[in-house]
Structure 1
Amino acid sequence: MDRIAIIGCGGSGKSTVARKLAQILDAPLTHLDAIYYDEQWSPLPQEEFAAQQEKLVTGERWIIEGNYASTLPIRLAAADTVIFLDLPAATCLWGITQRRWRYRGGQHHQDGVYDRITWNFVRYILGYRRTMRPRVRKLLREHGPHVRLITLTSRRQANQLITRVRREHQPRA
């Protein structure tokens, strides 16, 4: 697990899993939302966003979290591990509610959190498994047949993964 792409629906826990893994593995972490949006919530032009990811994936070790299906092939081509947080919509909606409570809205570059809840975002979450999941799976088949795919379908599974990685990477006495 040297080059890890973490993907999934908004509110699924990508940022949390990424932060914990980065700490355990001592790997550089990039939150794609922090690159894509500026301080005024304006998105980066698509070509520039893709170019920044092209640079990021040249590193020996990295963790990059964020969905962005249009540039997912860039990350898949270079990744050795993909963690796909495929959680139910209700869990993701609860996740964005907790995030709103914790951050009170806004963008937090240090945490990679983009906390802006709109009705379009809620509809995206509600339809993710029906519309985006098939697209993500197709991209995984086409651009990531070489990766170790870890699909997590609950917060419990995500916590178990963190515990297992922590145990595997503890310094031996």
Structure 2
Amino acid sequence: MKRVVVLGRGGAGKSTLAVALGDATGLPVVELDKHFWSPELEAMPPERWSEVQSGLAAGERWIMDGDLGPYDVLDVRLRRADAVVLLDYSFPRCAWRAVWRSRERADFWRWVWSWRRRHRPLLLEAFAAHARDAEVHVFRSPRATARFLARIR
């Protein structure tokens, strides 16, 4: 694993996992939220986001943490990935973590609520279309994710 994409519902723990993977592998972690959102929390236009991601994904070693839901342009980073990790945790678990973490906007909650029904299928299609050669890991629980992380360490 040299280029890893970490995706999942809001509140799943993508950033926490990315940091732990970075510690275990020595790969630099790129938190996509920091590159995507303006200080006023306005979404970056898709064309510009593709350009920004192209620059970020040009490196030979990285972990990219972030799932920007309906705002995302996945193909850029998926084409470069050799591993994809999808945290497919339940709505109650993610909602609890999101509430505990911070206040969120209404569009965030719509995304979190509809993620498994609307967004997860789109992610799986994107993996098949743009990350054919990548190892894809789908974890339904923190315990499964912890076992994966233990194997990496």
Normalising to structure 1: TM-score of the pair? 0.82
Distance 1:98 1:152 in 2: 22
Offset from partner CA, 1:5-56 (integer Å, 9 cap, x none): 0011111111100011112211111111100112222332322221111111
- The amino acid of 1:75's aligned partner reads R
- In structure 2, the residue matched to 1:63 is 63
Identify unmatched segments of 5+ residues in structure 1.
Answer: 101-115, 167-173
- In structure 2, the residue matched to 1:13 is 13
- The amino acid of 1:21's aligned partner reads L
- In structure 2, the residue matched to 1:96 is 98
Larger displacement relative to structure 2 (154-163 or 41-50): 41-50
- In structure 1, the residue matched to 2:133 is 146
Distance 1:94 1:6 in 2: 20
Distance 2:80 2:21 in 1: 18
- In structure 1, the residue matched to 2:77 is 75
1:54 aligns with 2:41: no
- The amino acid of 1:12's aligned partner reads A
Q: How many residues align?
A: 151
- The amino acid of 2:21's aligned partner reads L
Report deviation, 1:147: 0.6
- The amino acid of 2:48's aligned partner reads E
Identify unmatched segments of 5+ residues in structure 2.
Answer: none
Displacement over 4 Å in runs of 4+: none
Query: Secondary structure at the residue paired with 1:7?
Result: strand
Report deviation, 1:163: 1.8
User: How much identity, in percent, do the aligned residues show?
Assistant: 31
Larger Rg: 1
Distance 1:43 1:130 in 2: 23
Report deviation, 1:156: 1.3
Could you say what the CA RMSD is over the residues aligned between the two structures, in angstroms? Answer: 1.4
Report deviation, 1:118: 2.4
